[in-house]
Structures are given as C-alpha cells and as structure tokens.
Amino acid sequence: MHPAQSDRAAAVLDTLVAHADRTGFRAHGLHVRIGDETAEHHWTPDVRREVHSIAKGVAVLAVGIAADDGLVDVDAPVVEAMAAALPGTAFGPGTGEVTLRHLLTMTSGIDMPWSATELTEWPDLAAEFLGRPARGRVFQYANVSTYTAMRVLETRVGDVGAFVADRLFTPLGVDGVTWERCSRGFVAGGAGIALRTEEVARLGRLVRDRGVVDGRRVVGARWCDAMHTDWVVRPDADPGYDRYAMAGWGGPGRLWRLHGAYGQMVMSADHAVVTVTADDHGGADAFAVAVDAVLAP
C-alpha cells in the first residue's frame, strides 16, 4: 500500500482484502476511493481484463454525450433511426414504441436471451432483435438490447468505438481501449471492453462526480444520475437485482453498482466508490454485501 493512501480509504481496503482472503473470493484487483483519497490492492498482475457488463455503463455515457450534443433523442422510437440502417427489415409488432431509453433500461419488451454466439450467429443481430415482437415495457435483461442501442448511436455519431475513445476515455486519461465487435464490425455494446482495475474506477469516479473529471465536463449530470435513479422495479427479484436503471443495479443496502459477469463491479454510496475486478461469479454478491457493510456510516 502506498504511504500516501488515506487512513479511511486504506482502512476500507484492508477490511475488504481481509474479507476476500478469508472467504476465498477470487479477486484480481481492488480500488477504493473515498472523497479524493484512494487505496488499491492486487492479488494478480495488474493487466487489462474483460469487464463484461460494465460496458453497459460505457454505452449509457456514450449515449449521454451524444444527447448533450443534440445528436440523439433517447425518447424517440429507435425504428426511426434504424429504418435506413436496416433496409428491408420487417420490424416486429410493438417495436415502433421502443426508444433508446427502453433499450438502456432493458424495458423494450423484446425477448431475446443471451447467447455466447449472438454476435456471429445472425446475418444482422439488430435486425433479428427488432424483427421480434415487443411486449410493452417488460424487463428483459440482454446484451443485445445494449448492442442495438449502440447501433442506433452509430447512425448519429459514426463509429461508436472511435467516438467513445475520443469523448469518454481520452478525458479520463485511458488510452488504447478497444471494444469487441460483431461480424458486421459494430461494437458489442453490452460487453467486450478490457480495462485495468484503476481504469474501471475512473468510470465510477466520473459517475459519482456527475460527469466532471478534473474540472472538465465530460457528460451531463443527468446521465450519471440516470444510472442510479428512476428505477425499474422488479418486485419478484432477489435483493440486489430488484431495481435497475440505465446500466446500474440498486443495492445491496445503500449501494448502487455496475455489475459485470464473474465479479467485475463498481459500487458506490455517497462519496465512496469501490471497484473490484475478479474471476468469481458466485462470490460477487456476497462481496457486494461486505462492501455495503464496511461503508455503512
């Protein structure tokens, strides 16, 4: 631990490191920020790794930046943008009501469960998705929903990977990030970004600070707030999965979080942001509970 790390951040870090060691949670790296003070620990080499659904948070921020520029309207039907991009596509019943907001909050009502080969198995994944019926504002968590949102964004900003690199990652001081692409060359949307633990933490700090980094406005505050407000409530879901916003889950406890498969998480409450990268899908929820407990006032 670096000697300049704060007592509070260091204490939280030490408690969580001890918890991971005691429980066997297979973490790669842990970063704690409280106010402007940080502490960090690594169990494995500090390299870039796939952050899975944390990419959904990147997608939301990208849409927010474009909306701030007046390039997209999150409440406009997406078929208006996609009709020209997908000529000849028979859009499914009800898809004319689906907006970018619905895609980013997983409430399009279009049923298309995740598949490990979805980026390559369809001639055009967005056409397949939007060709299916929409059942109203039904929650359906799926990577293809974010993928389709990024296809809509592409019609307004050009290459989304380049747009995100220039408008989001460069202001954060993160260079050389690539985004996995489908067989047609479009970004994966819901996954496919590799980052170091501290680079993920920069995203958490940006959202905590409502779109400002080092005094520079990167994205409007409303898009950061949208990641942990205006919840889609799922009353029959387990705690920690019973509220979803734009890419963010509510809970456990006072936390909200970005949560990628195998334990990639950005967890925030008040002025604290705790970021973990891991390879432990089953242990992630218990670790989030421990973070909530250690951050309790």
- ω into residue 133 within 30 of 0, thus cis? no
Name the strand (E) or helix (H) holding 218: none
Residue recorded with tokens 């670096």: 2
Phi/psi for 291 (5° steps) reads -65, -45
pLDDT of residue 12 exceeding 80, the answer is yes
Q: Residue 232: what residue type?
A: V
Tokens matching residue 193: 């970004």
pLDDT of residue 266 exceeding 80, the answer is yes
Between CA 125 and CA 154 the distance in angstroms is 14
pLDDT of residue 274 exceeding 70, the answer is yes
145 and 212 share a domain? no
Last residue of a domain, one of 195, 217, 241: 195
Between CA 267 and CA 170 the distance in angstroms is 23
Mean pLDDT calculated for residue range 21-29: 98
71 and 131 share a domain? yes
232-245 tens-digit pLDDT? 999 999 999 999 99
57 and 189 share a domain? yes
How many residues are given for the chain? 297
Between CA 51 and CA 291 the distance in angstroms is 19
Mean of the per-residue pLDDT values of the chain: 96
Last residue of a domain, one of 164, 195, 226: 195
Q: What is the pTM of this model?
A: 0.96
161-191 tens-digit pLDDT? 999 999 999 999 999 999 999 999 999 999 9
Residue recorded with tokens 């809509």: 152
207 and 73 share a domain? no
227 and 289 share a domain? yes
pLDDT of 2:
44
Domain membership of residue 71 as a residue range:
47-195
DSSP secondary structure letters along 144-160: HHHHHHHHHHHHHHS-H
Domain CATH code at residue 178: 3.40.710.10
179 and 265 share a domain? no
Among left, alpha and beta (phi > 0; psi -120 to 50; other), residue 209 is alpha
pLDDT of 1:
43
Mean pLDDT calculated for residue range 265-291: 98
pLDDT of residue 267 exceeding 90, the answer is yes
29-82 tens-digit pLDDT? 999 999 999 999 999 999 999 999 999 999 999 999 999 999 999 999 999 999
Please enumerate in sequence order all residues whose Cβ is within 8 A of that of 149, keeping only pairs 6 or more positions apart, or say none: 59, 63, 78, 100, 103, 104, 189
91-102 tens-digit pLDDT? 999 999 999 999
Last residue of a domain, one of 167, 195, 223: 195
115 and 14 share a domain? no
pLDDT of 297:
80
> What total number of domains does the chain contain?
2
**Surface-to-core class of residue 197, CB atoms within 10 Å of its CB (0-12 exposed, 13-18 middle, 19+ buried):** buried
141 and 254 share a domain? no
**Assigned domain for 51 exists:** yes
pLDDT of 6:
62
144 and 253 share a domain? no
3-state secondary structure of 239: coil
**Assigned domain for 99 exists:** yes
224 and 102 share a domain? no
